[in-house]
Structure 1
């Protein structure tokens, strides 16, 4: 008997919907996938509340998601809310509104659980092996770090240092001046102390970027080399050479908003935030002397899906 499931990841910047079918052999068949730049954190993340305009955008998107879910006839719906909702003073009211308007029951998950789901998503993408890796998932509200290999998680933590939060703090001029880059790195150095201690203990050698920013960095790198294969079908697992990453990174720092938007492979919804996110990637590579970058297109929602299937 085939079953249809819908998964919603309500991120601080982007809402994702995945509708999938599980056949009797337990194989997954993706039926529909979309992402919408809701920008739930815009205008409110720094004062700890969801702004009315952001709430309206979210509710409209979720009403659309509900219609799509109904069209596909998915019986099970799992919706996860992360950093913005868990930290917002009006998060509970927002979750009640969603249920009232869409009958979608939102699970607000804490940072540790978010990191765990991301690990299972990345593991399902097949980018982990026996070597110790550091997964980095840059959201709009939080950044998750997981030190692990394919068999286990050694350490994990979520930090409220997402790209929207960094943007509110450090994105004061465009292009970003060297002083702002240095200020962001100094801030990360101070806030990521627990990660620094964990790295000293577990010694990861590979950086695994999980979806979002990392997908876009790979898209820009590929299109810059005249490779358009990623536009037809995004691979689940990719490699990004360190020097290729730095080439893109320096281009992002050098250009202003309109110039970045013109870069082949850039997404409009990431055009400013990617600057702050890429500075964080540069910081992590440099500080922790990581030798390699791998990218997983799977993240939170795929992790939730694979956990659900494993439990059944």
Structure 2
């Protein structure tokens, strides 16, 4: 057996998977864990990782390391993304992780993160020919445009569910003027991506925690019993907008009670859906398609290809 352990430290959560890679190129998931660490919390414009988010993140990484060690010697790839990528105290944090947890993290560039997203989607959604992949994280979004399943454009933009919520006060009693200010900022950055014009009327393929929450809310709204079965799930633009309006008009306490929505995301779900809403308008997307496969599955796909070479 060839085990591969992957730790993905994002801006909002830390995830770990262990996969058993088979000689035929397939793989079996042995373990999957996820904990909200929100390392991007209160970074603000200073772009400094704060002591408490670092402390709780390291505590979770120690738990992950203990689980990995139970499987004996195995190949491990640890990656981290936007929050650590932009942090002015990145080196100090990664040195602390190395000392306390004995894990060496690779800091992905935005382009690398986007490319792994693309590989993960292509490996698991075989029927989609054209579209724009949107991965909404805590401190960044990745956009990947593809035609005939070939990657044409990829970019990472410096806004996400956590930093939008903090910057525009979108957590509790949300004011429309703040929503509009956040949308104006997002749209300004989208307008600079002239290549988006080549994807008019194409679908948006969705990754990221906020988008997965939207899928579960929609499945609960539709009366589905298996609300976590979201890979390949399709929603119309009209339903996306309808559900967002309902979420937007509910206060934080009410959001915590919405079927399908994780309680821990109640303060960042509005901000987390704004990149999607504005992208749908920008390219006049008729629908969205949800993917459970992203960076981690892209890493596995890359590793399997190397084993085949």
TM-score, normalised with respect to structure 1: 0.93
Partners of 2:127 and 2:241 in 1: CA distance: 23
Q: State the match for 2:221 in structure 1.
A: 224
Question: What displacement does 1:191 show?
Answer: 2.0
Cα deviation per residue 1:31-64 (whole Å; 9 max; x = unaligned)?
1111110000112243111101111111101100
Partners of 2:208 and 2:166 in 1: CA distance: 22
Match among 242, 259, 272 for residue 277 of structure 1: 272
The answer to whether the Cα contact below 8 Å between 1:7 and 1:78 also exists between their aligned partners in 2 is: yes
2:206 paired with 1:209: yes
Question: What displacement does 1:128 show?
Answer: 5.3
After superposition, the Cα gap between the structure-2 partners of 1:194 and 1:223, relative to the gap in structure 1 and judged at 3 Å, is same
Q: State the match for 1:191 in structure 2.
A: 189
Partners of 2:60 and 2:241 in 1: CA distance: 35
Q: State the match for 1:85 in structure 2.
A: 84
Match among 269, 287, 308 for residue 292 of structure 1: 287
Match among 263, 288, 291 for residue 268 of structure 1: 263
> Where do residues 26-175 of structure 1 align in structure 2 (5 Å cutoff)?
26-73=25-72, 75-126=74-125, 129-130=128-129, 132-149=130-147, 151-171=149-169, 174-175=172-173
Cα deviation per residue 1:188-245 (whole Å; 9 max; x = unaligned)?
12122332x01124546111111311211110111122212134xx343221222222
Q: Which runs of 5+ in 2 are unaligned?
A: none
2:3 paired with 1:4: yes
Partners of 2:287 and 2:150 in 1: CA distance: 20
Partners of 1:39 and 1:255 in 2: CA distance: 23
Partners of 1:203 and 1:225 in 2: CA distance: 28
Cα deviation per residue 1:87-143 (whole Å; 9 max; x = unaligned)?
11111111111121222110001101110011111112216522x201100000110
Cα deviation per residue 1:250-284 (whole Å; 9 max; x = unaligned)?
11100011100000111122111110121221111
User: Which stretch of the first structure deviates more once superposed, 234-243 or 216-225?
Assistant: 234-243
Partners of 2:210 and 2:73 in 1: CA distance: 29
The count of residues paired between Structure 1 and Structure 2 equals: 307
Q: State the match for 1:21 in structure 2.
A: 20
Partners of 1:117 and 1:180 in 2: CA distance: 33
Partners of 2:16 and 2:96 in 1: CA distance: 19
SS in 1 for 2:7: strand
The answer to whether the Cα contact below 8 Å between 1:211 and 1:295 also exists between their aligned partners in 2 is: no
Partners of 1:46 and 1:227 in 2: CA distance: 42
User: Which stretch of the first structure deviates more once superposed, 75-84 or 282-291?
Assistant: 282-291
Q: Which runs of 5+ in 1 are unaligned?
A: none
After superposition, the Cα gap between the structure-2 partners of 1:140 and 1:298, relative to the gap in structure 1 and judged at 3 Å, is same
